[in-house]
Structure formats: C-alpha cells, structure tokens
Amino acid sequence: MADNSLDVVGIGNAIVDVLSQTDDAFLGAQNLPKGTMTLIDAARAEELYAAMGPAVEVSGGSAANTLAGVAALGGRGAFVGKVRNDQLGGIFRHDIRATGVTYRTPAATGGAPTARCLIFVTGDAQRTMATYLGASVELGPDDLDAELIADAKITYLEGYLWDAPAAKEAFLAAARHAHEAGRKVALSLSDPFCVDRHRESFVELIGGHVDILFANEHEICSLFQVETFDRALQEVRGHCAVAALTRSEKGAVVLAGDEVHVIDAEPVSQVVDTTGAGDLFAAGFLHGYAQGKGLYDCGRIGAVAAAEAISHFGARPETRLDRLVELRVAAG
Amino acid sequence: MADNSLDVVGIGNAIVDVLSQTDDAFLGAQNLPKGTMTLIDAARAEELYAAMGPAVEVSGGSAANTLAGVAALGGRGAFVGKVRNDQLGGIFRHDIRATGVTYRTPAATGGAPTARCLIFVTGDAQRTMATYLGASVELGPDDLDAELIADAKITYLEGYLWDAPAAKEAFLAAARHAHEAGRKVALSLSDPFCVDRHRESFVELIGGHVDILFANEHEICSLFQVETFDRALQEVRGHCAVAALTRSEKGAVVLAGDEVHVIDAEPVSQVVDTTGAGDLFAAGFLHGYAQGKGLYDCGRIGAVAAAEAISHFGARPETRLDRLVELRVAAG
C-alpha cells in the first residue's frame, strides 16, 4: 500500500514580505542591525515603510517558505499560520496554496492586519528584516488540526513563533500530537536575536520535544553562549537526535549521535539576495528526511535548495527544485 | 531664472500588478490572447487569480510606470490616478511616492477595491494581461489638479483610461488645461484591443488634442485599419505633431512633419519580461523631450529605458536610469 502521509506540516508566522533594495547608510540611520530580524509594532511599521524605497510584495514567513520549498521539491506539505481576512491575507493564502501546499487555517475576522516583514536587501546580498507580526500572533492551540499533524511525517516549527505566547502553546500541543502519532518534530532557531530572547525555553524545548534541530552558526553559538562553532558542535550533541547546522558559504554540518557529515555549499554564479537561504535548506533537508534518505543526502538536497533561493530576489523558489536536485544530487 | 516646472504629469489607471510565470497551455485554457490586455470584472478576477500560480505584487499601471521611469531618469513628475483606501491602494501610493513622483489623488473611501492587473509571463518573455479596473474607473474631472497640469511641460495620458467614461472626461479636461497653459499633450494608445474598442474617438482625440502620440506597430496599424507598418507611417502624418512608433526588437520610428528618425533597439543580453517596455520607452522619450533634446535623442533615451525594463521581471526600473543614459546615449 502506498504511503499517503504528508511529508511535512509547518507551523509558523503567516507573513507577506515587502522587499526593497537599500544601502548600509539607510540601515544605520534606521538603527537596523544588518542580517538580523527586528520585531516592530504597527506605528514603527508605518514609519519604516514610509521611509522605504519602492518595494515588491511576495508571500513569506520562514516555515511557509520552507513548505513552499517542500512542494517545489515534489513533496506533500501543509502549513498552519494565521492571517487576517484582508488583501495581504488573501495574497498569502493564494500563494501558499498555488505552490501546492495545503493551507486551511481560518483567517482572523477582526484585530490586527496580516503580518508583514519589511526586508532591506543591500548590495552585498544580505537581508535585514523588520517584522510586524500583526494577525500572526493570534494563532493558538484551537487553530491546530490534530489530524493533519498526526498525518505528517514531520511537524516543523519556526523559532520566530516563540515570540507569540498563544502560538508557543500551539506549538507545544502540536509537538505532543506529533509524538503521540509516532511522528518527528523539527525546529528552526530562526535568528540569533530570537535565540537571545528565548534561550532557556529553547534549550528546554529542544531537550524535551525536538528531534531535528536547524540552526545557523550564530544561532547555535548564541543558544549555548559559546564563542566558536567548534564549541557549539560539542555542546549540541546529546540535546537532540539530529542537528543540521548551516554556515552560509562554508556549507553545513549534520550531527546525529556519533554520526557527523560535512556538506559543502552548492556553488552559485551570483548571490543576489540571501533571504530564504535557511528556510530552503530546511525544505531540502526535511524533504530528503521524509523520503528516508541518509543524512548526508538530506544535507546535499538542502544545499541545492538554498543555492537556488539565494540566486534571485525573494525567498521562495522560482524553479522546479525536484529537477535541480535530480541534476545536482541524484547524479552527484 | 531656473525652470522649476514639472517635466511630466501622467494621468492613468492606478494599478497593482500581480505577476506570475506561466506557459502557453494556461493562456489557451483561460482564453487569454497572448501579448494583449483583456479587461475583466471582479468575479473573473477572483476566478483567474485562483487559477494563477504563486505571484509577486508590484505597483504598475501604464502611465504610472512611465512616471516612475521619468523619476528614475532624474526628471520631475506627478501622477494622477485613483486607488481605494485599501492595502493594495496603500502599496500603490507608497511605491509611486518612493520613486520620487508627486502623487496627491485622494483614495476612494467606498466602492470597488484598488485595481489589479494579473500578468502572465511566458517563457518567451511575453506578458499577457487581465485587468480588473476597480477603483481606477472612479477617476473623474474633480480629481484633476489644474495647477499641477498647468505646471507640467507635458501632460501624458494612457489610452487604457479611455475604457472608463469619467476618466475620459477627466482627460479631455486635462488636455484643455494643458493647452490653455501653453503645454503639450501626449497619448499612448496602450493596446491593440484598446484601439479596437475606441478607434473613432481616438482618431478624433489625436487630431484635436494630442501633440505627441506613442503607439506600437500593432496599435498604429489597428488605429488606421491598415495591414503594414509602412502604410500606417503614411497615415499618421498630419494627424499629430510628433508620433513615436515602437517596433519591439526592430527599434522605433519617430515622425514629425517631414522629419523622420529611425532608432535601433538597444541591445539586451537577456529579455526576461517585456512588461513595461512601451511605458519605459515613453518615459525616456518624454524626459528627453522635456529637456529640449532633439527627437532622435529622445528616441535613443526611450530605447535605453525600455531595454532596462525588459531585462528583468516587472515593469518599473530597477536601476538609476540617468546613469544608464549617460553611459549609452550621452556618450554614444
């Protein structure tokens, strides 16, 4: 009998990205730390948007980008996250469904508008983000679809959700549902500032509920408050079954008990915009994992998906990633 | 004394573009004639959007794109067009102002939502458009700012506006204001289907009110119901003072009385998306004209601006066009 399970269900903030090109002087003047994500309120979002150059709107959200990546890889995915019933919410809903991802979370009919993330891309391809969480933070345990979670091989959560108290509860409930159904739980740490805000509860969460951890070098060092990636590597062992640690152009390291895999970054002819690199690495890795691939191949698929994401403006894939993977991983 | 006049005021539909990549099979199934613009109602817009792949939202509108181009060329411009006070209207307002264009038309507080144009880009870089005019059609003579028009060297109208009866009146009023102030009036025919819908009134309008006419090969042939570009060339003489006729990769021909200029297309390393080519040709031409350049140079600046537009996804410039022109026209 064929396995009709979903591969991945992602739970995260439902956000529309507002992307614009800018320079370091603008980031400095606006007090935005380059390469990171700052949370902003509605008033600051208005003010910052008014100062922003001409922009492009694209559906985003970290876990939602990952699910769009899973779909572009040919995987079966679902997303859970909250929009408002406004025009930006309609755009988010359309885009995630149009990628082939199941999305059934009802829109909020009152309260804050759909979340948006102002993304400033500098000439060096780095992205600096200011996020107004809006309706996203209204996601709560009642929005979970226990059947969907039980049906998915992996439940994937973005660390950013930890900034919203109700969503935090929703995630803990989702992790319980997943484990009760014998499924895996994965977490992305999302951002060094996010780790700073939630260090203790993240360590507790990872130890108690997370099977697969995604983090980049800055995030994993911040989590364990160590100076070097090498020290972080030693610390992470024993905290979770699998850790996939990304290091930008230096590639990634995947740890699982005594198993260690070093994965080279996939070459890119031109890095245009690093928005979505981590999200798409997770997409590739999780897709491979759901298909029962070995950890090295999971990392390789992640690297190929991340390379596609950074070669264009915006976070979501512009290509059929399954064909790319066939070309670059299956053949390799 | 320095001349502080505006260079160009554009009057047109205030539209947000919704761009997606697709293939010929989709266009066929949806009955969308490739390379043209179809007007759709709200219900059809919903239906077509639901069938559309993941999309990107970018401010558009033909004359608005032209004004964004004028600003990117270093010119002083203003735009007049109607949005609703909704999220897409906010995006349109932000983007046009962020390019440096003056935009003061008050948003509608009721009625139809902000206009959107679903744009399907095929692998051959052609764009096929389906436009829901929404709040755009509520532009009327009361929205005109007579002072702004009197202050601008050129008042530029997009032919698409001719589909909205109140806007049509607004344009005729604007043309009168402009001529009373001793200014020029320019018109773009916009689309062969648009010409089909309004052939007689366009001929009348051009003869009575238009100093500078923009049209592509299909539009000018449709206007005069002739088979060949050569026949159209003979017909257009005498109808207006200046005609700038574009022919895609074959360049452009500019006519003014006995004066004829043949302008080569600017080479492009890769044509990605032809959306905005005509709008940006007009931007370059009008900017040159407002600066008192000769007609050949106006055409050359138009060709450079159009080449930039077709080398990326979306209609508005991604580069400082003034630097490009300096490089390619001033030096050439």
State whether B56 and A53 contact (CB < 8 Å): no
pLDDT of amino acid A25: 97
Identify whether B83 is part of a domain: yes
| Chain A residues touching B87 at Cβ < 8 A | 86-88, 113
What is the distance in angstroms between the Cα of A300 and the nearest Cα belonging to chain B?
26
The pLDDT-based confidence of B1 (bands split at 50, 70, 90) is very low
Identify whether B99 is part of a domain: yes
The tens digit of pLDDT for each residue in B81-115 reads 999 999 999 999 999 999 999 999 999 999 999 99
Cβ-based neighbour number of residue B292 at 10 Å: 9
Identify whether A310 is part of a domain: yes
What is the distance in angstroms between the Cα of B97 and the nearest Cα belonging to chain A?
8
Nearest CA in chain B to A86: B87
What is the distance in angstroms between the Cα of A21 and the nearest Cα belonging to chain B?
9
Give the angle B232-B188-B195 at the CA atoms, nearest 5°.
60
Which among B54, B91, B98 has the least Cβ separation from residue A98?
A: B54
pLDDT of amino acid B182: 97
How many angstroms separate the Cα of A258 from the Cα of each of A185, A237, A255?
20, 8, 7
Q: Above 90 in pLDDT, residue A275?
A: no
What is the distance in angstroms between the Cα of B227 and the nearest Cα belonging to chain A?
40
State whether B54 and A88 contact (CB < 8 Å): no
* A/B interface, count of CB pairs below 8 Å: 54
Strand order in the sheet with A127-132: A37-39, A127-132, A115-121, A15-21, A56-59, B56-59, B15-21, B115-121, B127-132, B37-39
Report how many domains make up chain A.
Answer: 1
How does strand B115-121 pair with strand B15-21? parallel
| Chain A residues touching B59 at Cβ < 8 A | 54
Identify whether B325 is part of a domain: yes
Which residues neighbour B43 within 8 Å (Cβ) at sequence distance 6 or greater? none
How many angstroms separate the Cα of A228 from the Cα of each of A84, A218, A231, A258, A302?
42, 9, 5, 20, 23
Name residue A256's beta-bridge partners: A259
Identify whether A148 is part of a domain: yes
- The span from the CA of A28 to the CA of A30, in Å, is 5
Q: Above 50 in pLDDT, residue A116?
A: yes
Average pLDDT over chain A reads 93
State whether B94 and A49 contact (CB < 8 Å): yes
Nearest CA in chain B to A50: B94
State whether B94 and A55 contact (CB < 8 Å): yes
Q: Determine the structural domain holding residue B310 and report its residue range.
A: 6-13+61-104+137-330
State whether B50 and A94 contact (CB < 8 Å): yes
Identify whether B166 is part of a domain: yes
Picking from A57, A79, A275 by the largest number of B CB atoms within 10 A of its own CB, the best residue to mutate is A57
What is the distance in angstroms between the Cα of B31 and the nearest Cα belonging to chain A?
20
The pLDDT-based confidence of A1 (bands split at 50, 70, 90) is very low
Identify whether A54 is part of a domain: no
Residue A78 identity (one-letter amino acid): A
pLDDT of amino acid A225: 96
- The string of DSSP letters for B284-295 reads HHHHHHHTT--H
Stretch B170-186: mean pLDDT, rounded? 95
Q: Which residue has the tokens 């029962």?
A: A292
Which among A55, A98, A113 has the least Cβ separation from residue B95?
A: A55
Identify whether B320 is part of a domain: yes
Picking from B20, B47, B57 by the largest number of A CB atoms within 10 A of its own CB, the best residue to mutate is B57
* Share above pLDDT 90 across residues of chain A, in percent, rounded to a whole number: 81
Which ipTM was obtained for this model? 0.91
**CATH number of the domain that residue A305 is part of:** 3.40.1190.20
